[in-house]
Amino acid sequence: MRLNASPIARRAMRWANALGVPFAPFRVRVGRWTLHAPTVDRLAALLVMRRSIDHDPGIAIWRRLCRPGTCAIDVGANMGLYSLVAAEEVGPAGRVIAVEVDHRNADAADRSFRLADARHVRLLRIAALDRDGEVELGTRDDHAGDHQVMADDPARRRSMVPCRRLDSVIDRDLEVSAIKLDIQGAEGLALAGLEATIAANPRIAVLMEFWPAALRRCGTDPESLLRGWHARGFAAAVVETDSPRAVDLRRPGEVVAAAESRSFCDLVLARDPTTWRERAARG
């Protein structure tokens, strides 16, 4: 989530987060799950989710992508909602890998997974990138959902965190049906670390935030990223409603321009476009 808040609003949220520390984590019922919020701003996000979960097109599409008995990968798990949705869809015979590097959100997600008895969810406290090692993470005191790698922002708190190529930690025997990517512009780097997984799973589908400005900040050219999907044989659609709107990856400039006109969009990608329409009755 991106916020264009004023300096006064940001200062107020920093104070609210600081004052809320003795009472955190806050618990909120969202759909069938109880989620934990580590800060006041994340509490506000959960209250919004609680009102919108039954009408959220991203959640509806994500449900369809996660096939029973397979593995779903939630990169940028935040407080764990998408991971819990995936856990329900893949069932106890399946697996969910939740990737969250921010310790506040990871702790909150872990509490939620335990409370839901989601034993088939594996939480990885790493940044998903194109290499193994460490990377600098920038976090904000006023917005615990906006943590970024390679962030050139002096207002952010900076720390070194572990990073991994997800190909190196995913069991190759797993059938991966779905990947969700929402990591503030590092999506291209994470995908570079998932090449083997994507190649080995012909029915895989990806739900991805597409934020051109943030991608460029992390060194990824958004048009080249789209061309890469086309070269792998993928089709794409913009998630606007329960029925995604197809876009032409052969014209990446148009897709980028449309996304930039509203800052960002969510894309769903698959080699078979019917993938995101399957199991519609269950969506």
Name the CATH superfamily, with its identifier, for domain 57-282: Vaccinia Virus protein VP39 (3.40.50.150)
Share of the chain above pLDDT 70, in %: 89
All residues at 6 or more sequence positions from 279 whose CB lies less than 8 Å from its CB, including other chains:
63, 64, 67
What are the pLDDT digits (tens) for 176-216? 999 999 999 999 999 999 999 999 999 999 999 999 999 99
User: What confidence score (pLDDT) does residue 27 get?
Assistant: 93
- The structure's pTM equals 0.91
DSSP 3-state assignment of 188? helix
Q: What is the mean pLDDT of the chain?
A: 90
Q: Measuring CA to CA, how many Å separate 212 from each of 5, 11, 58, 238?
A: 20, 27, 19, 14
Least confident of 5-9, 160-164, 219-223: 5-9
User: What confidence score (pLDDT) does residue 280 get?
Assistant: 46
Q: Is the peptide bond before 244 cis (omega within 30 degrees of 0)?
A: no
User: Residue 154 and residue 206: Cα distance in Å, rounded?
Assistant: 33
Confidence of residue 3 (pLDDT cuts 50, 70, 90): very low
User: Residue 114 and residue 77: Cα distance in Å, rounded?
Assistant: 15
Domain ranges of the chain: 57-282
Helix (H) or strand (E) holding 265, with range, is: strand 265-270
